[in-house]
């Protein structure tokens, strides 16, 4: 059974930082690209950052310079380091594992940026 479990969300003040983690099980983690997505109330889910099997990564323009994605294949984990958080970063954050044939989603973790 495939499971992706996100953690690390919470309430943070503007300008603060959080690190999200996503631990995968039931898949051969190293052969899957990984992505972080977010969905704010009333908005469509959007990609935040993604990282390939060899570590090449991209981040959305809206978070460039503030968010960093990384992965640790030994721990079956992908991370999203979020710095200088803004109220507009408030959303449920999801991780995704995907290959040419399959895609799996986690259940999401809430990030709220508010003073």
- Report the distance separating Cα 113 and Cα 26, nearest Å: 33
Condensed to tens digits (0 to 9), the pLDDT of residues 43-95 reads 999 999 999 999 999 999 999 999 999 999 999 999 999 999 999 999 999 99
* Beta-bridge partner residues of 103: 98
- Report the distance separating Cα 80 and Cα 65, nearest Å: 13
pLDDT of residue 46: 98
11 torsion bin: left (phi>0), alpha (psi -120 to 50), beta (else): beta
């Amino acid at each position: 059974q495939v499971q992706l479990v996100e953690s690390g969300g919470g309430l943070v003040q503007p300008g603060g930082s959080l690190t999200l983690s996503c631990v995968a099980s039931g898949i051969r983690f190293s052969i899957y690209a990984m992505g972080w997505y977010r969905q704010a109330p009333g908005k469509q889910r959007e990609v935040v950052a993604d990282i390939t099997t060899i570590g090449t990564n991209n981040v959305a323009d809206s978070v460039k310079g503030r968010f960093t994605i990384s992965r640790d294949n030994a721990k079956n984990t992908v991370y999203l380091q979020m710095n200088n958080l803004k109220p507009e970063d408030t959303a449920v954050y999801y991780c995704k594992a995907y290959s040419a044939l399959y895609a799996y989603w986690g259940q999401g973790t809430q990030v709220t940026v508010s003073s």
